[in-house]
Structures are given as C-alpha cells and as structure tokens.
Chain A
C-alpha cells in the first residue's frame, strides 16, 4: 500500500466504518441500526479490497451485505411492531468501560508485538485460494457443506409450525 490514494481510501473507509458502527449501537430504531450495519459491512469489504483480498471482499458483500442483513431485516419485519425499538439499558456504562479496557489492551498488544512482515507487495488471487481450498483445506471445505446442510435441517425444523409438524408426522 504505497502512495496517497490507498491512504486516503483507508482513512475514508475507517471513518465510514467507525461512524456507521457507532450508529448501530446508538440508534434507537432497530431498522436504522441494520441499515447502518450494512454500511459497516461495506466499509469492511472496502478494507479487504485495500488489502488485495478481493475474494474475501466479494464474499463479504455477497454474504453479509446481501444475505445476513436481509435475514436481520426480515427478523425485524416479522416480529410485532413493539419490538422495533431499543429499550433503555442500564448496561451502557459497564459496556463502555469494558470496551475502553479492551481497546487499551489491543492497542498495547498491537504496538508491543513484533508482527511478522511480508516484504513483497500483497498479491493474492482467487485461483490460488481455490487451489488451496481443494488441496490443503479440502477437509474444512467439505465440513462446511455438511455444516450448511445441518443448519438447513435445523432451521426448517425450528421454523416449522405445529400444523406442519402434524402433517409431517402423518406422512
């Protein structure tokens, strides 16, 4: 990452991501919180592009911006209207204290550690990723499909109405 362009992009993305992330927490309306969450996801996808991890950026957009946020929006739209606003919480101060402590720990760790550096420009392409996924990491790759199927079965089971269960039991 050399030159002014990536630096400007980094700071703009950082500002967008952080402001949107703060908005998610502070917004009283859950609906607005989700929209801001989508903006946060997009900002993070931007970081992945800056790190030349294009496939992950694409996955971030497709899964998080495209699918997860739709699911969250549906969850809000499917619950009764009373549930669409955040209640008052007493945990604000403890949560703030905890976040400050965590931030302090991570800042210390980030500055203290001798992180291994990659000397060359980061270059990454999806073809290499595909080959790695089908050779070294083929086991997690296959487990992922089992995991998705199990989640599918579980989701259908839990979302089924008593009437549908009765029909299924008679089948």
Chain B
C-alpha cells in the first residue's frame, strides 16, 4: 500500500514564504499535515508521539506574530518531525527504547531551540531503531515504521520514522541523526533528500548519543533547497558542544543555483561491489547528468573505503557501550527492582534494552577490554585515520564524489532482521563519511526495482557542504527537467 499524501507537493520554503507574507497561515499548514497524519499514520507508524495540540497552538502564535507585523523566521509555519533521540523539554524522549520509560528531558536539544527560533512547528517525535542502531527501523520497542511508498517494505534506518514522515507528507521536513548512514540510507529508500553535514557543523547537545565521534544531526526534505533551508537554521557554533566547529551557520542556499560547470566529480574506482544493478544504473546516469551539466568526471581511489564497515562496527559499538552505560536505573527511566545494586543494573538493562542494542554493547565492551584493545579498537582507529587520509588524497583530485547511497531499494520487512551482518552491509557506502567526519547526502534520482525510490550519494570534504549541495541541486534539476530512468 502507498501513503504519499498531497502535502508532499508543498515545499518548506514555499510554506515559510506564504506564512511570512500572510498569504496562508501556519495553522492551515499544520492542519494539512495533521490531516495527512490522520489519514496514513496508522499504516506507516512514523511517529512515537504526535504533538497535534502543541503544534496547533504554536502555529497560532506564529500567525499572531505575523498579524502583528513580526517576522517569525525563515521556517515560519514549517512543520518538522524530530527523531525521538533528540531531547524535547517536558516531552517524552524515548530513543524507541523501553529503558527510558516515561523520562521527560528538562531541556531542549540545541537543534530544537534553533528550529523553534526560526519559526518551525514540531508535529511529533519519530520512530527509530532503538538508540539509532539499525538500518530498517524494525529494532524499535514500539514496532516498525513502514515505507510510505510500499508498506510491506522498510523505510530504512535508523531514522526511518523521520524519512517516512517526510515521504508520506506528515511534515514538510524532519531531523534525523546519522552515525553510519542513518539519514542517507532511509532518505534513499523513502525518496527524500537526506543530509549528514560535516561533523561539528550542527550541535549534538541534546542528541542522545550513540557513537559520539560519529553522530551528526541533519535534515530530511522534499527538495535540496528545503534541506539547505533547514541546515542553515540548525548549523553554527554551539558553545555547549565542545566538538562544534567555531564558525557561523552554513551558507548553502546562496550558491545552490550556480551549477556544476568546471566542478570535478570523482568516481571511486575501487569502491566495494555490492550495489544492485538498478541502483548502479542510476548512479551511472547521475555521473552522465553532472557531466552534461558541465562537470568533469575524474577517477579517484579510496583504498581504505572497503574497511570502513569493519572499523565502524568496532568504534561505534565501543562508544555506544560507554554512552549507554548511564542507563542504569539509578537516576531516570526504567528501574527493575532487585535485591542489590548489581542485580538491579542487570535486571534493568536486561529488561530495558532490545537485542540489537545488547549485541552492540557487548561488541563494544569486548573491543575496549584489556588485552583486546590494541587488536580491535586501536586497529579500528588506525583504519579510521587511513580512510580520512585516503579521502583527503581523493579530494585533491575531485571536489565531490558520487556513489550509491544504499546498495538496494527498500527491502521487505523481516528480510534482514534475523541476519545482523546483512543488515550492517546496508551502510557500506555511507559509513566512511562518518569515520572521516566529512559531509555526505542522498539525493533522490529515479526509481528502481518495483518502482521504488533510489538515492545517489554525494560526498565532499569537511566544510565543503555548500559544494556538495550545489552538485545535489544540479542532479535534482536534471531529474526534474529530463526525468530519470526507472
């Protein structure tokens, strides 16, 4: 079954412009999206929590501000869905895990504050693979999210709820977090734009950590311009996040229309195999489209790319094993009573965490253990440096790189849920950017098997987000003007 509501034809930029000019109201914009939710959410299950009343009253405030001649900001009246691992003051934040219970954060994540300050309206908290660990949004304590293009299929993950919310038209834009591809892969599977910005471009304060050195928040949107609009609003230095880069918000939209004349687009000749023919076909067409728009295609090598997955599955679980240790039943969330402290920890964590989270905590604990550190975590860190060096060398020859985002189109629910390794392979093409800290994004580019969306991935060196967006806009224009095969 398909659930693509007519709200998907509205852009965030368009809504904001008409709300700011008084042509339409924020309440109307919000109500349209709430109607779409009412029509399709029962089948899609994009949300853990829909904040209908909050959203309508916030929208009314925005309309009142406009009526008084104030400017509510660049996202005035734009509906936004938040992945449920971003803290919202007084509103349950679950990470799709039982362990958080009914915990309500006493603070908003920096991105939430920035979105609200820009006039956006939060319509709900979206489903995810528990603690962002997964590629299908099936690892949720609250049940899976389904792909709005075909509800027998997964939306990808871990930000599957946020991807599905935009794809179904439940919100104009949404935020996800990307630790190894958790924005780009579901964006590809749901046919939306999805961006993982440069590490440090967007504050992580208030994002419940999975792999702190890899996690980055980014937008889902219908268009490249909308993604840029949101990213401009949420990026910039945050003194509350020590890894936040000390620079002003990203400037993306001013160069979007510049085209790719003279831009060097790299084709990674030693990219790991694994992309299905339909996906590979769209990637090849994307190279042709950029060449036709004036870009130069260059061959580059990134020899360590293929080791990314292995290194990632040591580094991310290692950090996760430490990040998730605070869920101990002592100060917040679920507590299962037991005769003594150690048994309470064990009972709480046994009850509170799902199987995939436990698997990764064990993997990570092992990788950091005395006697194994050098062989696992230490070696993974060396690979991480190699990957960063290889990318740097490739970027001496190319301005951006182009690869598949996901190896396949959306797969069916249950397909990979009993085979963790097959699931991990979904992130083959997305993981290396997280290890390098570089920006990358998925752009919808035609469809593949079963008429399902395909996304191609653009990669760029750190802080070259604007260049990446310029290439993405060129692909989007090509798809709109010339169409893409399906």
Bound pair (A, B): no
Chain B interface residues (CB < 8 Å from chain A) = none
Chain A interface residues (CB < 8 Å from chain B) = none
